[in-house]
Amino acid sequence: MSRKMYALGLSLWVALWATLIASPGHAQVRHRRPIGPAPTLSYHFDNNAAAGCRDYSCGSRCYDGHSGTDMPVPVGTAVLAGAAGTVIATNNGCANTGYVGNPCGGRCGNYVQLEHSDGSRTIFCHMQLNSISVSRGQRVTCGQTLGRSASSGSSSGPHLHFGWRRSASAASADSFRGGCTSAPGVWVDQRPYPASPGDACQCVPSPEVCNGRDDDCDGRIDEGLTRNCYTGPAGTNNRGICRGGTETCAAGRWGACAGQVTPRTETCNRMDDDCDGRVDDGVCAMDAGAVTDAGRDAARGDGSAGADAASADVVGSDAESDSDFADDASEPSDQDVSLVDLGPVSVDADVSPDRVDVPSGCACRAATSPSSRGARSGAGLWVLAMAWTASRARRRSRNG
Ligand SMILES: [Zn+2]
């Protein structure tokens, strides 16, 4: 055999086994009880091949040769499929009230027989005449109504006879597991002897969804289910500061949208708070300086806005900025009053800054700066003023 053929054979073998292992036919089908309200079971399967009977729990709740489990229920009680399957046989036409040994329906009376995905079969005997609601070949689901109960065929009173066999060719077997039976047990929820089984259907795995059920059959409900969320207005998600969050499922309900950021009132912060695609729209439009100063004074809370204005009125300033157009206490005291008195000089804008800037005693140099025609003009006036002052002082001195 070539290496290629060997590899092909090996992959086919692996594929075959993978198919067999994955086949649902190999998973044992388990059942719910076939009656709604839990009945008190009367007779169990006889696990004793010899004379006499022995039920699955080594008790005597049975009778010799019994091939199933009897569930006493009133005539007309709904009979339910214990698991999903296909109807392979039905029988109708037997009187509702039979008797022990009545041969109608092979002693089963009116009945429904199902085949399940694992090849096993279940049968429901002694049903009500004309009550069977399924037909041969029909697929049924777990818990689906097959018909109604009665006492047809070989029956001494109203009850449902539930029978199970491992395969089409196998003999009937006990549907319960226990110390006195070799049967594996077929119930989803076999309860303590001698109670009826539970009414839960076998879990068939499917993707877990937020519905309060264990869809994936791992024993946990709605585990690990989250989804993206956003409750803000349409069109605002992922715009500006807006971001989506995460919802987590618990007990069939989606929780709050955790971590999301929805639109806020726009503030002057260089961010798009209201997530409309515009930053600081309509909130930073006023004069920036006024907003900033006001904000600063407000933040400082010391009412020092006046100090701000006064602080601008300092040596070196280009102009009188405290709006009084006159010297005040905050201005340097070295200003030569006589200079200020010379009104005409002050109109010369070129001189004004120099005059204020120069320290005491150096006013003459600034005033005589050759760079300024105004300064020259001012110097002449200054000389005249000084001369007038000196002359007056001399007069006072003379007069005094
Ligand atoms: Zn029976």
222-277 per-position pLDDT tens digit? 999 999 999 999 999 999 999 999 999 999 999 999 999 999 999 999 999 999 99
d(CA 314, CA 286): 28
| Residue 227 DSSP SS3 | strand
Mean pLDDT of the chain, nearest integer? 77
pLDDT at 111: 98
Q: What DSSP element (H or E) covers 208?
A: none
160-210 per-position pLDDT tens digit? 999 999 999 999 999 999 999 999 999 999 999 999 999 999 998 999 999
Rounded to the nearest whole angstrom, what is the distance from the C-alpha of residue 203 to the centroid of ligand 1?
A: 28
Answer whether residue 71 is part of any domain: yes
The residue from 171, 202, 233 where one domain ends is 202
Rounded to the nearest whole angstrom, what is the distance from the C-alpha of residue 200 to the centroid of ligand 1?
A: 23
The residue from 151, 178, 202 where one domain ends is 202
d(CA 325, CA 340): 11
Locate the DSSP E strands across 134-231. Answer: 139-140, 145-148, 160-165, 172-173, 226-229
Rounded to the nearest whole angstrom, what is the distance from the C-alpha of residue 136 to the centroid of ligand 1?
A: 23
The residue from 202, 218, 240 where one domain ends is 202
- pTM comes to 0.55
- pLDDT value at 96 more than 60: yes
pLDDT at 279: 94
Rounded to the nearest whole angstrom, what is the distance from the C-alpha of residue 138 to the centroid of ligand 1?
A: 25
Ion ligand 1 neighbours, Cβ < 5 Å: 68, 70, 161
Residue 103: domain span: 25-202
Answer whether residue 194 is part of any domain: yes
Answer whether residue 296 is part of any domain: no
pLDDT at 344: 41
Q: Which residues of 214-229 are buried (b: 16+ CB within 10 A; e: fewer)?
A: ebbeeeebbeebeeeb
At 182, which CATH number?
A: 2.70.70.10
19-74 per-position pLDDT tens digit? 333 444 468 999 999 999 999 999 999 999 999 999 999 999 999 999 999 999 99
pLDDT at 157: 97
Answer whether residue 303 is part of any domain: no
Rounded to the nearest whole angstrom, what is the distance from the C-alpha of residue 68 to the centroid of ligand 1?
A: 5
H-only helix segments in 288-336: 288-300, 305-311
Residues 279 and 271: beta-carbon distance below 8 Å: yes
Domain count, the chain: 2
pLDDT at 204: 87
Answer whether residue 171 is part of any domain: yes
Residue 291: exposed, middle, or buried by beta-carbon count in 10 A (0-12, 13-18, 19+)? middle
Q: What DSSP element (H or E) covers 389?
A: helix 373-399
pLDDT at 266: 94
Answer whether residue 213 is part of any domain: no
Rounded to the nearest whole angstrom, what is the distance from the C-alpha of residue 224 to the centroid of ligand 1?
A: 46
- pLDDT value at 130 more than 70: yes
Residue 389 pLDDT level (bands cut at 50, 70, 90): low
- pLDDT value at 308 more than 90: no
- pLDDT value at 287 more than 50: no
